[in-house]
Amino acid sequence: MEADIAAKAVELGTNTDFSLFSLFFRADIIVKSVMIILILCSIYSWAVIIEKFRLFKKITKSSEEFEEKFWNSKSAETFYNSLPSKLEDPMSLVFQDAMEGLLKKKTRTNISERMSASLEAGIEKQMTKIEKGFTFLATVGSTAPFIGLFGTVWGIMNSFQSIAISRNTSLAIVAPGIAEALFATALGLLAAIPAVVAYNKFNNDSKKYSEKLENFSKRFLTII
């Protein structure tokens, strides 16, 4: 083990390539594992970010179009019958579920209470779909820097071992190992920062859209 560390110390002292690929391939298995985990988290985070950005842009437009058509229709039942079989807009789905529940019930007692409960359940169901992936973004944003820090601490420990074994405190021996270690922290921040920013933005957008659904539900109840 000590011979391996000593050999690596000599190799680091003669290797002045500080490219990202070189830093990755020179790192030991623990630091490499940390880097791979952070890279995968970053890739998946960006996939979630892009998907949610498109989703909110799409549902904002589709819900506005739905509301405009709904309030210009003659009646809720007429508008319900004119809806297409496949709906993707959350507001349309909330309305459709509520109307299906209303029309299936033969009794007309406690309509307001039953419709209110149906609309609340529909909103909760749609918001659960919309907020899927938020937990992952929050988790990456809070844990990625610490995962990167773990890789950094482990890498610096290896650098100090190299110094102790080689008995050489030259900067040429220390610098490559520290650079590898700090690269792990950089990857942690690279994964965490976009995830935190995106989570805050999408969480705010989600609250606004939830309020939009609730406002529509309240106005819809007034005409039942």
143-200 tens-digit pLDDT: 999 999 998 888 888 777 777 776 766 666 667 677 777 888 999 999 999 999 999 9
Q: What is the pLDDT of residue 6?
A: 47
Contacts for 167 with CB less than 8 Å, ≥ 6 apart:
none
Which residues fall within 8 angstroms of residue 53, CB to CB, at 6 or more apart?
none
Assign 14 a pLDDT band (cuts: 50, 70, 90): very low
pLDDT at residue 97 in the model: 87
Task: Give CA separation, 56 vs 46, 66, 93, 151, 190, in Å.
Answer: 15, 15, 16, 36, 24
Confidence at residue 72, expressed as pLDDT on a 0 to 100 scale = 87
- Predicted confidence at residue 20, as pLDDT, reads 62
Which of 97, 88, 99, 94 has its CA nearest to residue 62? Answer: 88
Q: How many domains does the chain have?
A: 1
Closest CA to 155 of 190, 186, 200: 186
Q: What's the confidence (pLDDT) of residue 108?
A: 61
Largest Cα–Cα separation, the chain: 89
How far is the C-alpha of 79 from the C-alpha of 69, rounded, in Å? 8
Note the pLDDT of residue 180: 78
**DSSP, res 85:** S
Give residue 3's pLDDT band: very low, low, confident or very high (50, 70, 90).
Answer: very low
Q: Give the closest residue to 218 by CA, choosing from 116, 94, 85, 108.
A: 116
Q: Give the range of the structural domain holding residue 7, as residue numbers without chain letter.
A: 2-222
**Length of the chain in terms of residues written:** 224
pTM here is: 0.80
The tens digit of pLDDT for each residue in 85-111 reads 888 899 999 998 888 877 776 666 677
Helix segments in the chain, DSSP class H: 2-14, 20-26, 29-71, 76-81, 90-104, 111-130, 134-166, 171-222
Compute the average pLDDT of residues 59-79: 88
Structure tokens at 96: 């459709």
Question: What type of residue is 171?
Answer: L
